[in-house]
Structure 1
């Protein structure tokens, strides 16, 4: 029955749906501003009255290019340095507008306006700029149909709520955009408005064909820009930091003394040069890559592989999308504590290129494996170099190359290869990557000594100076249209493949997987969208042992109140872990997130049922893993959230509890203005019986000119009469200022 259902969805997804005539893309011909445009949300400059006004005539969600529920006008101007946008957003009930003085990139569930700019006409990447009715910003880099909100740029916005809605003004400096500076210029342009009420409505100035999988291809056009005289731009980003820290001498002994350091200072400098509109050079000297934003703790008690944490450091975030492949062959956090780093990114017609290098004084290392991996803190120096090039051709199609090398004293790792994406027949994409690696291990068993063999080879996992080569291949065929999709993928990574500049934590795999789905759009106010999907796959080792086999059925729904619900379960799941075979690993997955009102957001994710206790020896257990959270926003300048993660697993054989614990985290913000805020994080981890307390004041004039003053306090409950013992503290103050010649 499952096989027949899979075949049905696969066949249904293979036949093209009937297509309407192509929807006509609108064109906006901008004009030059003749006066200074003040970004204040008040459209009182005479140039705005002279600029062409366009109306957002389409509701693209949940409507299908239907008439929008509210009127939105947009005007565009430019001068030598900026591209200006003015939005007039009408609202019959202004009291229902959702807007808070939140931190950057935290406005996605609120009212906001949207500008998308595709500056090379190749339908590959798009800059996205969002601002809510108070002018709070979010910015993203779209690559294909994926958005990356780690992208940050320096641009300007201001919003004002009025009796009839709200106005937003945006100024985007040309110097933050890469583009080919030749006349006449014609850019892709998306203009939109997010209108969250009983459901999430999205208005657009251009129509969207749901039968076309290419989002960027459906943008309108921006014309009227001449060749721009942009001088060489210099940016200096100096910083100073003062800090004092203390730690308990022996973390396992609560009676050991607490050692407090002296107050220390540090300074460094970042330099960026933009010689042309399509080249950026950047370097940092003695950079401060300390974590102002703390990583939330995750439950990893039953995770045998190294845990991935996202990058948060500005130097590495800019241009990060260029280095990304389908697999994690570049993971910038493997350059952990650099003495210096340098980077160049650029574009020459259809060729995008980037070079990154860094000298690291405390280099980590991932030792991957079949059943588990290890994250090793070596404390050693290394130098990493990465070269990336990508040739774009056609809409969303490209051919790329990535070369990386990490040099240690007496050890080396090289990884390199190609990746590609080819779109054809409107609905189809063929994508993939092929990588080769050559490794000479560190020779130090005190860092890592494990006699397990690497797959079917004669090499072992210990760091004993062995030399070996490996490869990784990933290919996929995808089809996507209005009502159906499928993804057929193959993945092959040899036991000896390693990438010391990437995040490769699992090897010795040969996997085949197919996912297919059927989507139904509904005009009902209760049920807007239904997606019925199936995922089927098998995973083998290089010893031809079938590690895993599964068939997963699921359904996802879009409901009122910006609510999304997904429910699914494996109808077949067999796995071999550490040589032991497990059958009937039955469980149910549930995901729910919602924004029922302007005051409350919440989410829930849960897995109930059977799971493998991944120890040695492994055993089958039953239990749950849950993560849930709620955010309360009683007024625009205050927000508090509570996040909880729980996990429990007990033996089916004898009811012994393998683990049972939780992590609870509260984050509270009070904003004095768009720029300044107080933040308090408190977190308790029952697995380690540790409590963390992080107060912070920050002033952010922009993403780069910032001031922080804060402290961190770590405590642990050792189970004695004294209860919590202080195990670590830190006090810090940091100032950095962006200076530019423009």
Structure 2
């Protein structure tokens, strides 16, 4: 009770702070009058040192406003940007004045500079206030680039564009020079063409201050709608550009495989597994990009996938019911990805696992944006050699061996008004015995300066295997046999037609000291988006939140204070209760980039046996031991502390306690099931409540400019109330270290350890990448257990045992021809 009173006091304090007098933005600084940029008489040398003679034709812009933490106040430090254009390039130069020795800068990898001081250019090249290129640079001129889509919180920095930049640190501060080829962009040009434009400077040591050319009205939602405009693009030469990136990957892999049974199922007198040194593989790939017009691009690829360079971060998989979303890393799918995004994630490029070939056409004509994508994925038809040669397995997979899953995606959007749009989406995936089609509409409408409404509605049609928990093989043995033949041996997966719907609606209002959001999302039981990502179907979810905060104060000990209050209710499409939770949080921002976040929430969660397996009837047991449904009332509290007090060091700590969290009784790695049913020898699931504790800590240290090392630790445990036994204890430790020899050349070592499987994996990598498309990598990966469990037999193995290891070399080169 005492903690709840304290938390209520904090919320009331936030509300009181939020009532302070606001600062109005003068109308004069919100002018939309475009600025004509200068025309270069000659190309400047991009070396980081700004030569006044070379930049004499440039238009000069200054940061006039500190937009965070201050509210359009006068910047503490002066920043200038010089901008000019010629027939083929846009040139920018930054002068960032600062005190000697206080600049935060490291020799970092590309796309890893935002912990340094940096400057950023925003280019809305169609002036539609919906999408913009973002180019960021640290004081050494190292790049981070991406795409910002209006309505999103942050830019997508996963995509890379070819451009040139250099930076220098001086006694008076630092400078950066930039050349952005127009052929790296999609844009509109010609006399009178306007581009949305803004530039910002981010100063880390000053509470991550943002200074900008244009002001930001905190009572107005949106980012691009508050940017200025530039013009002067009438002299751009109209060109077509062809890019070819051939690649070769050579790898040698050793791994453990199971022995193939003999005619009667025996493996002989030998072991049930063996370590195989596979033949050296050489994969050739080719990626093509053809700029048909400045605003329409054709991309094509043959064998573009290569996953060894960037591995997904390890996650806790224990007690996990639903799939996890992983971000895309493959360049072919990153280019133009923003056109294929939607609230329901109806297209998820990682559903295309190993494409043999793919093609994509994207562009914008007038107010219409479009995207078409086709891919042939060979992964579903690939099987391990031991399965192909196993007479007990081969009959079940014969129909699929060597087959490809075919994907098709169609996307169209039309701009409506100043900041609204409507669109159509269609996807298809086809594989033997699996067909899925999806179609729908979506839109985003600005109601007023601070309110936006977003929606999506889709329908799906599938011919595939669906799990039928009520099906009884005894009553329909013929259908049971058909199910088993088509659906991989499972009699409860019925091969049938299924139609579904999905919907999304969100209203959001943003203000300086107050905001709210109402979101309603649902997917029916037979909703399937095989080309997309679906965490869960058969669920309706209503989510509401309210936000209050005080205006940030840059010079105060407490820089910012914000609170969210939230409530959610979930029901399935049969009207059964699933979840309800409510809670509140408070976020404190202090000096030296230090913050504290505290949240408490209460939840009621109900689960049903037909969500986990077969349902019971008078002639058989169901999936659950005991009652067919379970309900827990949970309370959760967690806190996050983060700080970057000096440029060499940053730290983040997250701690969480969840009272009466469900153990779904799956077992986890080396931890067997510990429910009463499991202890009594009953194979049925017996979910129950327990105490869940979680601690995550990470730190990064940069003792010298080229070197950085980061360590993260994640411990999660769950102990049941009814048996007093641990359902699992998971420890995941990760170490990353990188030495950047130059801007383009680096060496990296990665090591991950997972205690559930007592498994470790590591990678040593050397990389050189002077620009997107041209690269050389050489690496070694290793995966092994210590006192762990065999990935083949699942049996305990004392001591050290290697699972696999791979040595690989990859090289690619960008050929670029303009005509």
Q: TM-score, normalising length from structure 2? A: 0.83
Contact 1:608 1:623 in 2 (8 A): yes
Residue 622 (structure 2) pairs with residue 605 (structure 1): no
Report the counterpart of residue 456 of structure 2 in structure 1: 433
Deviation readout 1:598-626 (Å, 9 max, x if unpaired):
00112122321221112332110102122
For 1:520-531, list aligned pairs within 5 A: 520-523=550-553, 524-531=555-562
State the match for 2:814 in structure 1: 738
SS of 2:634 mapped into structure 1? coil
Residue 17 to residue 46, structure 1, CA distance change in 2 (3 Å): closer
Q: Is the 8 A contact 1:212 1:427 kept in 2?
A: yes
**Aligned pair 1:182/2:190, yes or no?**
yes
Deviating more after overlay: 27-36 vs 103-112: 27-36
Distance of 2:314 and 2:104 partners within structure 1:
30
Residues 417-449 of structure 1: per-residue CA shift (max 9 Å, x gap): 01111101211111110010000005xxxxxx9
Task: Indicate conservation of the 8 Å contact 2:503/2:522, yes or no.
Answer: yes
Q: What are the equivalent positions in structure 2 for 1:255-270 lying under 5 Å apart? A: 256-270=273-287
For residues 510 and 478 of structure 1, the distance between their equivalents in structure 2, rounded to whole angstroms, comes to 19
In 2, Cα distance between the equivalents of 1:706 and 1:679?
15
The size of the alignment, in residue pairs, is 718
- Are the counterparts in 2 of residues 483 and 518 from structure 1 also a CA contact under 8 Å? yes
Match of 2:517 in 1: 487
1:206 & 1:97 partners in 2: Cα distance?
A: 24
Query: Offset at 1:227?
Result: 4.7
> Using the alignment, how far apart are the partners of 1:263 and 1:20 within structure 2?
65
Classify the secondary structure of the residue corresponding to 1:194. strand
Find 1:568's aligned residue among 580, 595, 599.
599
Matched, 1:641 2:691: no
User: CA separation in 2, counterparts of 1:453 and 1:598?
Assistant: 60
In the alignment, what sits opposite 2:486? Answer: none
Structure 2 CA distance, aligned partners of 1:606 and 1:364? 43
Structure 1, 251-260 or 145-154: larger mean CA deviation: 251-260
* Partner residue of 1:705 out of 741, 758, 774: 774
SS of structure 2 residue aligned to 1:197: coil
Alignment of 1:87-102 (within 5 A): 87-92=94-99, 94-102=100-108
Whether the 8 Å CA contact 1:198–1:596 is kept in 2: the answer is no
Deviating more after overlay: 658-667 vs 564-573: 564-573
Give the equivalent residue in structure 1 for 2:678.
none
1:428/1:480 contact within 8 Å kept: yes
- Decide whether aligned partners of structure 1 residues 721 and 518 sit closer, same or farther in structure 2, where only a CA change above 3 A counts: closer
CA separation of 1:425 and 1:721: change in aligned 2, threshold 3 A: closer
Q: Is residue 2:369 matched to residue 1:346? A: no
Distance 1:339 1:664, change over 3 A: same
Deviation by residue 1:105-125 (Cα, 9 ceiling, x = unmatched) = 111121011100011122101
* Alignment partner, residue 369 of structure 1: none
Matched residues in 2 for 1:741 and 1:401: separation?
34
The answer as to whether partners of 1:248 and 1:258 remain within 8 angstroms in 2 is yes
Match of 2:126 in 1: 120
Does the Cα contact within 8 Å between 2:339 and 2:371 map onto a contact in 1?
A: yes
Q: 1:663 aligns with which of 729, 732, 735?
A: 732
Partner residue of 1:515? 545
Counterpart CA distance in 1 for 2:404 and 2:514 is 50
Q: 2:354 aligns with which of 312, 334, 337?
A: 337
Instruction: Provide the secondary structure at the position in 2 that maps to 1:701.
Output: strand
Q: Residue 83 of structure 1 corresponds to which residue in structure 2?
A: 90
Once residues 413 and 447 of structure 2 are traced to their aligned partners in structure 1, the CA distance between those partners, rounded to angstroms, is 19
CA contact (8 A) 2:713 2:734 kept: yes
Which residue of structure 2 aligns with residue 689 of structure 1?
A: 758
Match of residue 375, structure 2, among 358, 379, 403: 358
| More deviation, 497-506/483-492 | 483-492
Q: How far 1:493 sits from its partner (Å)?
A: 1.4
Instruction: Note if 1:386 corresponds to 2:409.
Output: yes
1:580 is aligned, of 629, 635, 638, to 629
Q: Structure 1 residues 512, 364: CA separation in 2 closer, same or farther (over 3 Å shift)? A: farther
Q: For 2:81 and 2:22, how far apart are their aligned partners in 1?
A: 34
For 1:244 and 1:574, locate their aligned partners in 2 and report how far apart those are by CA, in whole Å: 48
Q: Shift of the alpha carbon at 1:287?
A: 2.6
Q: Against the structure 1 CA distance between its residues 721 and 339, is the aligned structure 2 distance closer, same or farther, given a 3 Å change threshold?
A: closer
Match of 1:33 in 2: 40
Q: Secondary structure at the match of 1:128?
A: strand
Question: Aligned runs of 1:294-313 on 2, under 5 Å?
Answer: 294-313=311-330
Q: 1:552 aligns with which of 583, 605, 608?
A: 583
Counterpart-to-counterpart distance in 2, 1:421 and 1:654 = 51
Is 1:400 paired with 2:423? yes
1:371 maps to none
Q: Map of 1:110-189 to 2, 5 A cutoff?
A: 110-146=116-152, 147-189=155-197
Q: Is the 8 A contact 2:191 2:232 kept in 1?
A: no
Quote how far apart the aligned CAs of 1:258 are.
1.3
| DSSP-derived class of the 1:516 partner | strand
Q: Which whole-Å deviations, capped at 9, do the CAs of 1:480-507 have from their partners, x for residues lacking one?
A: 1111111112122110000000011301
- Separation in 1, partners of 2:768, 2:344: 37
Instruction: Check whether the contact 2:467–2:494 (CA below 8 A) recurs between aligned residues.
Output: no
Superposed CA RMSD: 2.9
CA distance in 1, matches of 2:381, 2:227: 43
Partners of 1:251 and 1:727 within 8 A in 2: no
Q: Which of the residues 800, 804, 817 maps onto 1:728?
A: 804
Query: What does residue 372 of structure 1 align with?
Result: none
Partner residue of 2:292 out of 270, 275, 289: 275
Instruction: Please give the secondary structure, in 1, of the residue aligned with 2:359.
Output: strand
1:21-55 CA deviation, whole Å, 9 max, x = no partner? 54324743211111221111011261313423222
1:449-506 superposed Cα distances (whole Å, 9 cap, x missing partner)? 954259xxx9999544211100001111111111111111212211000000001130
Aligned match of 2:741? 672
| Contact 1:335–1:363 (CA under 8 A) maintained in structure 2 | no
Distance in 1 separating the partners of 2:332 and 2:353: 12
The 10-residue stretch of structure 1 (355-364 or 401-410) with the greater mean CA deviation from structure 2: 355-364
Answer with 165-174 or 282-291: which moved more.
282-291
On the 8 A contact 1:437/1:469 being kept in 2, the answer is: yes
Give the SS at the match of 1:363: helix
Structure 2: runs of 5+ lacking an equivalent: 261-269, 383-396, 484-489, 610-627, 666-684, 789-795
Once the two structures are overlaid, the 10-residue window that deviates more, 391-400 or 335-344, is 391-400
Give the aligned partner of residue 536 of structure 1. 567
CA offsets, 1:137-176, max 9 Å, x none?
Answer: 1112111142211121111111001111111011111112
State the match for 1:237 in structure 2: 245
Contact 2:468 2:494 in 1 (8 A): no
Distance (Å, rounded) in 2 between the aligned partners of 1:17 and 1:165: 34
Secondary structure of the residue aligned to 1:584 is strand
Q: Residues of 2 paired with 1:305 and 1:572: CA distance?
A: 19
Of the three residues 497, 502, 505, the one matched with 2:535 is 505
